[in-house]
A and B are shown apart, each in its own frame.
Chain A
Amino acid sequence: MAQTIAITGGRVATGNGGQPIEGATVLIRNGRIVSVGRGAAPGGARVIDAAGKWVTPGIFGGFSRLGLVEVDAVAQTNDAAATGSPFGAAISVAPAVNPNAAAVQVNRAGGVTRAIVAPAIGRDLFAGQGAVIDLGEDMDAVTRANAFQFVEFGEAGAAKAGGSRAAAHVQLRNALYEARDYARSPAAYEGGRSRESLLMRLDAAALAPVVQGEQPLFVRVERAADILQALALKREFTQLKLVLVGVSEGWMVADRIAAARVPVIASALNDLPQTFEMLAATQSNVGRMTRAGVTVAIGMIDDNDARQTRLQTQYAGNLVALAKVPGAAGLSWGQALASITSTPAEIMGLGAELGSLKPGRRADVVIWDGDPLELSSAPEKVFIDGVEQPLVTRQSRLRDRYLVRGAAPSPRAYRQ
């Protein structure tokens, strides 16, 4: 932890939206970034020559289920959703995260160092509380437990609320009212409950910090009309700290989202009308919202969320490519990198700690063999809190077992 590391000579992108800096030195000490700039490495530092390489902040998974799932289709290994639980909002993913999950390994090797991890909905439209985790090989994965509450407010939520969006509105508002009652007087809450009260006590307790604005409320919403209804909640519950998730039709109401100063975690490349709440889905969505002044991070919503956060770099690269298509809206390279590093960190209120290469930040740093958004590139070194991480995975071990070079001296299974 106390190691001083100087990464020298690389092309350094700090994650703050600008172009990379050539030949800069990133200095790490005690797990933090000390400086990014010119100048020689201090004596005693471990010097890593990154000439010809790219250096960036670690990729920050904007929305994932990393660490909650080993194999999706094997129910015993899948802790993303709890359809049989009597609890909703009170569920917290933090104790369920498995730092040894294969997906943690694989995404770490892909340059992902932190991730927003959300539960999936089970009994009702409240999925529960998500966490921010690191992908380090140690057993302490949780950076921030109970980092947000997650609610489905479109088709999926409507189904859980009894079968309509209208019912979902009532259920959501009722829950927030009950939570407000709980927050005013936890001791009196039980006695003051009417027989019609719907929330379990622990669910009400979990929602209290949401109505008080102490815990962000992530609202999954796709349709433009639903987005506006979600924004309208702030008029009734003025303290709410909203974050919109999904938001496929966000471009249609981008000015309203921007005016409400509500950040968005969007699917990057969703462009099919896969549901009737995504009829206006387009790859220009992120670009148009960004242009309108909305803060947008990229997440893996309904998109291999348990395993493939590493693909966020590819998705960000695609948004850069889109900028060259007449009539479409994409991102600049700097914006694209920010959407998978500093922006998700800022949305989580962790921008001063994570997501960029700035003095004082925790040293999540990746050295890449090329442009990090390019398909041919891969991480060469990954640091989390200044600690160099192993990049060996189940996959790389399998590859090495079967990658035969020259004569095979022994049966395949015994070669490695």
Chain B
Amino acid sequence: MKASGGVALAIVLALAGCAGSDRAPAAVSSVAVNEERVTIPADPFPSTYRPAPSDVTVIRGATMFDGEGGRIDGGAIRLANGRIEAIGGSDLAVPEGATVIDAAGKWVTPGIIDIHSHLGNYPSPAVAAHSDGNEMSGPLNAGVWAEHSVWPQDPGFGRALANGGVTTLQILPGSANLFGGRSVVLKNVPGRTVQEMKFPGAPYGLKMACGENPKRVYGAKGRMPTTRMGNVALDRQAWADAQNYLRKWQDYERKAKDGKAKPSDAPKRDMGLETMAAALTGDIAIHNHCYRADEMAIVIDMAKEFGYRVAAFHHAVESYKIADLLRDNGICSAMWADWWGFKMESYDAIWENVAMVENAGACAIVHSDDENGIQRLNQEASKAMAAGRRAGIAVSPEKAWTWLAINPARALGIEKQTGSLKPGKMADVVLWNGDPMSVYTRPEKVWVDGALLYDMHDPKRRRVSDFELGQPGEGM
């Protein structure tokens, strides 16, 4: 039987469209692809990202933080065909026709990865018509996808590139909901469509939220959850439902494979449960907004109960209290350097949090969750490092750079592609005009996939979004 109108969901996966993809897109992986069976499309909104044209570029004489904790003084790096081709010393070969940049006295780092951003779904101008980050109509909204809210013309993308050297960012929905929906990982490039910005092959994330936000938002509506125990009760019921949903699809798939199921026997698709089921199979990473140590511990137990894994706790201001627990469970903490006090669950924030997590051997990430903070993530890492040092925790700047590079890359599942200066990786690189841990330093040039997208000496490369054109200042 050929796919007919009755089995319109039978869509053959088209993986070839993903430029540079080296991993299968996130999906309910157990559902096989066959025209005779109903399948869930793995990648219905595929990335159409193509790197901008680039030159072969050699940057030499710089101090380099490789993003994995290494440092090279007076090093050189060669970018070719969008990739980091080679790294070495002053003797690194310069191909004919290459652009050579003398970076003596300057620093080179991998592009910064912000694991927590709302650029595009809470864009500037922040008018109600643009407020697309929270689907606040129900606490269990795993079915929404952040990419369907992202406005590629948000001027914040360009600022994050030019002022912050941010080359990759995860856009999250939420945190009004226990299950806020799917995240999307973007390369910080200009795009007319969100697909043109989508990081090829990056796994999706599922945003969850602990604590005050869900109970406040739904408590105000007079519905569950109104308490933290209500949060967990709804979470567990939802996970149980997702397990059930996954089992139904797996049963259907087994039967269909054996020729014992018609396409019309396929379970009804449920967008929310579909995303949660993919989290249960490990194809989608959990990014859990969770401030308090005690709540993180509860979530860790809940994850064990249902068999999923938390990739990172976000806004984890109390990670310092349970850094051992986080280390032992292999969970990253995405943290601010010094935000505190805006709500009860942020009241115990301390400046040493990031360094104490690092010091315990757990995975530390510095995130922004802010359209201004994303422009200075290097400075946030610097403050966190300094606070740690004053408390006796020796963290080197090259180690601190892992909080902005390889650690978020791993938590996002894109560490083979970006997140450090290693040959073969995407040439996402920042040249800083001084020590990037200093307040007096600015990005001088920023490359994404080897393409020079920002140059402080070249006003023509300043990104001006469609929204800003013809407006006062044009973002000058």
Q: Show the binding face of A for B, using Cβ within 8 Å.
A: 70-74, 102-103, 106, 224, 249, 252, 269-276, 278-284, 303-304, 306-308, 311, 314, 317-318, 320-322, 324-327, 373-378, 394-396, 398-399, 402-403, 405, 412
Contacts and interface: CB of A to CB of B under 8 A. Distances in A.
A395 B349 contact: yes
A9 B274 CA distance: 67
B379 interface: yes
Nearest to B378: A375
A273 B471 contact: yes
B306 to A, nearest CB: 29
Given A321-B442, A375-B437, A307 B340 contact: yes
A71 B344 contact: yes
Contact of A324 (B126, B159, B320, B433): B433
Contact of A322 (B372, B389, B442): B442
Contact of A403 (B338, B342, B356, B457): B356
B349 to A, nearest CB: 7
A273 B475 contact: yes
A271 B163 contact: yes
Contacts of B383: 314, 375
A279 B472 CA distance: 6
A373 B126 contact: no
A71 B347 CA distance: 7
Contacts of A303: 372
B437 A73 contact: no
Contacts of A325: 442, 456
B457 to A, nearest CB: 6
Interface of B: 124-127, 155-156, 159, 163, 212, 320-321, 338-344, 347-352, 356, 371-372, 375-376, 379, 382-383, 385-386, 389-392, 433, 437-442, 456-457, 459, 467-468, 471-473, 475-476
Contact of B476 (A103, A282, A307): A282
Contacts of A373: 439
A274 B126 contact: yes
B438 A374 contact: yes
Contacts of B126: 274-275
Given A273-B125, A273-B471, A317-B439, A102 B341 contact: yes
Contact of B472 (A249, A275, A307, A395): A249
A273 B472 CA distance: 10
B433 A402 contact: no
Interface on chain B toward A: helix, strand, loop, or mixed SS? loop
A304 B475 CA distance: 24
B350 A395 contact: yes
Nearest to B459: A327
B169 to A, nearest CB: 15
Contacts, number: 145
Contacts of A311: 338
A375 B341 contact: no
B348 A272 contact: no
Contacts of B163: 271, 283
B473 A307 contact: no
Nearest to A307: B341
Given A73-B212, A271-B159, A375 B438 contact: yes
A280 B185 CA distance: 29
A375 B349 contact: no
B392 A405 contact: yes
A284 B473 CA distance: 11
A111 to B, nearest CB: 14
Contacts of A249: 472-473
Contacts of B473: 249, 252, 279-282
A276 B125 contact: yes
Given A71-B342, A314-B439, A375-B386, A395 B471 contact: no
- Most chain-A CB neighbours within 10 Å: which of B125, B321, B341, B468? B341
16 contacts: A71-B342, A73-B343, A271-B163, A275-B127, A279-B473, A284-B476, A306-B341, A314-B439, A322-B442, A324-B433, A325-B442, A327-B459, A375-B439, A376-B382, A376-B389, A399-B352
A73 B341 CA distance: 9
Given A272-B159, A326-B456, A279 B471 contact: yes
Contact of A378 (B348, B386, B433): B386
B340 A403 contact: no
A251 to B, nearest CB: 8
A402 B356 contact: yes
A90 B440 CA distance: 43
B372 to A, nearest CB: 7
Contact of A402 (B155, B321, B371, B475): B321
B442 A273 contact: no
Nearest to A72: B342
A280 B344 CA distance: 35
B155 A273 contact: yes
Nearest to A326: B457
A73 B344 contact: yes
Closest 4 CB pairs of A and B: A280-B473, A317-B439, A280-B472, A73-B343
A194 to B, nearest CB: 38
A224 B471 CA distance: 13
A307 B347 CA distance: 11
Contact of A399 (B350, B382, B476): B350
Nearest to A102: B341
A224 B212 CA distance: 39
A282 B475 contact: yes
Given A71-B342, A272-B156, A395-B351, A224 B372 contact: no
Contacts of B433: 324
